[in-house]
Structure 1
Amino acid sequence: MDLYQHFRKEEYPFIDQVLSWRDHVTNRYESKVIDFLHPREQRIFDTIIGNDEDLQLKFFGGWEQAERKRAVLAPFYDEVNTDSFEVVLLQATFPQKFVSIEHPDVLGSFLSAGIKRKKIGDIVIYEDTIQILVAEDITTYLIANVTSIKKAGVLFERVPLTKRLPSQDKWQERTTTCASLRLDVLIKEIYQMSRQQALNLIKKGYVKVNFQTIDQQAFLLEDEDLISIRGKGRTRIKEIQGRTKKDKIRITFEKLL
């Protein structure tokens, strides 16, 4: 059976990468640490490795409900623990009285410093404190080069994982039915707008699925896909439950409040 037929064409390069990682671990009998993956990539990775009894695949993102996670692919006999993921929790504070800092501000500062997105995990902001999980190998560079966010001076420092703040993300679960799993149809149902409005957002490049801009209204969504629309927030497809008696597709989704 052709492995690729179960996935989207644009996901083929990632599938090739997963197969390469699998060969590396199988042939060299050594663990492989993978940079941060978004939920769809995690799902693909887990699907491909499947029930291979010679390998073990573990994910870790710092927080229980972390979105982005690092992976370790290892021989079945290796011990995999938190240290295996080679991550560091960084923390900084900012003058909350004078400046408001949100997730995009933090991420933007990191990317502007030349840090690749795949080296950065989830970001948690609580009151005047920022925490972010990062790959260990960029920690020294990050601390030296990210010294301001939104014109506020910051100093990142390492803190133990036991000191991580509770995630402030709140997701509300809902269920709806739709005629198809097309992107324009689901946006219409989830965000309660007309299909033309949904189409306009897609054409303007305001819609991303799994962090990639999608300009095709007929793009089909699947379990674990994350939809983000500029100015309207984020939604993830939790489960596609099948068809109703009226031949509608029932889905469960979660919307970030």
Structure 2
Amino acid sequence: MSIYQHFRPEEKDFIDQAVNWIDQVKNSYAPKLSDFLDPRQQEILSSLLGNDSDAKLQFYGGSDFVERKRVLIYPDYYSPEPSDFNISLYDISYPKKFVTLEHRQILGTLMSLGVKREKFGDIIVTEEQIQFIAAEEMDLYLVGNLEKIGSASVTIKRLPIENIIELKENWEEQVTTVSSLRLDSVLSSVLNISRQKTQLLITSGKVKVNFKQTDNVSEECREGDTLSIRGFGRCKLASIDGKTKKDKWRISLGRQK
């Protein structure tokens, strides 16, 4: 039985990479540190490793509440320390009185420096402060190159990881029915807007399934899927609870406010 059948086709490359990491640790009997993984990748890696006694894993991204984390896969003799994860926390100083910076702008600027997304963890934006997490090996490059976000001049300062802003997640449980498990149908019901509008959101690149952008309106949603909709927040499909008498699917989900 193929391991791929439990996952989406587009996840095959990551599965191959993850299996390779696990094999590497078992063969070399030494720990392996990954770049930052999104929650779906963390889930895949955990399920691939299962209860394997020859290798273990630990995730860390700076704090419990962050989404993006590096993983350390290690042999059973090893005891991981937070310092093994090589993570840096930065504070961004900018002219707050005159400028408002958004998550999307900050991420866009970091990407425009020519650095892979996998080298960055979470970006934390509050009214008072902006922080971001990056792989420690990027320190010199970031300090030397990150000088502007949009038209605003910025400076970055490295802080101890204990200074990370703690955000509280606010999820609201919701039960609804949908005519089908197609992405456009599920989003139409969850967001309470027409199917035509959800199709437009999807085809214009504003929707992600499990942190990957999709333009496929008919993609089938599965239990555990995280759906991110720009401008509308995020929801996670907790369970698909069978069909109603009217032949609709009953689904339970968490909606992030």
- TM-score, L = length of structure 1: 0.91
| 2:59 matched residue in structure 1 | 59
Shift of the alpha carbon at 1:254?
3.0
1:222-241 C-alpha deviation (Å, 9 max, x unpaired): 344332233x3332315114
The CA distance in 2 between the partners of 1:221 and 1:208, in whole Å, is 12
The CA distance in 2 between the partners of 1:113 and 1:227, in whole Å, is 28
Does the 8 A contact of 2:241 with 2:252 survive in 1?
no
Does the 8 A contact of 1:240 with 1:249 survive in 2?
no
The CA distance in 2 between the partners of 1:248 and 1:46, in whole Å, is 33
The CA distance in 1 between the partners of 2:104 and 2:162, in whole Å, is 25
Structure 1, 235-244 or 115-124: larger mean CA deviation: 235-244
Question: 1:47-126, aligned counterparts within 5 Å?
Answer: 47-126=47-126
Shift of the alpha carbon at 1:170?
3.7
Shift of the alpha carbon at 1:217?
2.0
Kindly tell me: are residues 10 and 83 of structure 1, through their superposed partners in 2, closer, same or farther at Cα, counting changes over 3 Å? same
The CA distance in 2 between the partners of 1:250 and 1:73, in whole Å, is 38
Does the 8 A contact of 1:125 with 1:168 survive in 2?
no
Does the 8 A contact of 1:222 with 1:237 survive in 2?
no
| 1:180 matched residue in structure 2 | 180
Shift of the alpha carbon at 1:148?
1.6
SS in 2 for 1:221: coil
When the two structures are aligned, how many residues end up with a matched partner?
256
Q: Percent identity?
A: 39
| 1:255 matched residue in structure 2 | 255
SS in 1 for 2:155: coil
The CA distance in 1 between the partners of 2:63 and 2:162, in whole Å, is 10
Kindly tell me: are residues 168 and 144 of structure 1, through their superposed partners in 2, closer, same or farther at Cα, counting changes over 3 Å? farther
Kindly tell me: are residues 72 and 238 of structure 1, through their superposed partners in 2, closer, same or farther at Cα, counting changes over 3 Å? farther
Q: Given the alignment of the two structures, is residue 239 of structure 1 paired with residue 238 of structure 2, yes or no?
A: yes
Does the 8 A contact of 1:56 with 1:75 survive in 2?
yes
The CA distance in 2 between the partners of 1:151 and 1:218, in whole Å, is 39
Question: 1:1-257, aligned counterparts within 5 Å?
Answer: 1-167=1-167, 170-230=170-230, 232-243=231-242, 246=245, 248-257=248-257
1:171-207 C-alpha deviation (Å, 9 max, x unpaired): 4332323233221111111111122222233233332
SS in 1 for 2:254: strand
Give 5+ residue unaligned stretches, structure 2: none
SS in 1 for 2:27: helix
Supply the AA of the counterpart residue of 1:148.
Answer: K
Kindly tell me: are residues 179 and 80 of structure 1, through their superposed partners in 2, closer, same or farther at Cα, counting changes over 3 Å? farther
Supply the AA of the counterpart residue of 2:211.
Answer: F
The CA distance in 1 between the partners of 2:235 and 2:62, in whole Å, is 20
SS in 2 for 1:16: helix
